[in-house]
Amino acid sequence: MKTRSASALAIGALSCLIPLLSACAGVRAVDLAGVERLSLAELRDSPEEHAEAFSTAGKGLVIEIPAGETVPIAIDVRTSPFVVEGPGTSAVRFERDVYLYVSSSGVMLSPDGESWAPIQDLDALKEAFGIERGSLSLGFGVSSDEGAVIHFKLTAE
C-alpha cells in the first residue's frame, strides 16, 4: 500500500492558500507549453515522480480526470457554531471530463484543457462549464429511523 506523497500534500496545501493569494480573473487561455500532462491514473501510480511539478520552482501539472472517475473527498469543518466529527470521507464521481491545473501560482479547472477558470472564481467556473443556475440548500430533520440529520444539497444545471 502506498503512503501519501509530497505531491498529494502539495495539492492540499495549494488548494488552501490559493484563494488567499489569487485575484479572480475569469475564464482564460493559459500558456501550458512545457507543462506536464498526466491522467489521474498515471499520477496515482507514481505520485513521487511528479512532486517537483507542485513546488514553487515547478511549472505545475495538468491532471486529466475522465468522466466516471471517482475521487475521495475529505471533509473537515471546524468553525463556530459546529465542527464536523471525524473528519469524514466521501467520494466525488466526475460526470464529464475535467482538467485540473495545479501550480505554485494557482489551481484552475477546465472542461476541455483549453479554457481555464480559477477554482475560487465561481462566475468563471460557471462560464467555463456552462452552468446557468444552481442551488444550495441546508436542512434539518428528525425521524425515528435516522434520528437527527442535517441535509446538504448542491445542484447545478
pTM score of the predicted model: 0.70
Range list of H helices, the chain = 6-21, 40-45, 122-129
- Max Cα distance, the chain (Å): 58
Cell numbers given for 47: 505520485
Query: What residues contact residue 64 under an 8 Å CB cut-off, 6+ apart?
Result: 37, 38, 39, 40, 97, 99, 113
Q: 51 pLDDT band (50/70/90 cuts)?
A: confident
Q: Are 97 and 67 in contact (CB under 8 A)?
A: yes
Q: Identify which has the larger pLDDT, 53 or 75.
A: 75
Domain positions in the chain are 6-131
Q: 71 pLDDT band (50/70/90 cuts)?
A: very high
3-state class percentages of the chain: helix first, strand second, coil last, to nearest 5: 25, 40, 40
Cell numbers given for 29: 487561455
Helix (H) or strand (E) holding 139: strand 134-143
pLDDT at residue 9 greater than cutoff 70: no
- pLDDT, residue 107, reads 92
Mean pLDDT of the chain: 79
Q: Tell me the one-letter amino acid at 94.
A: F
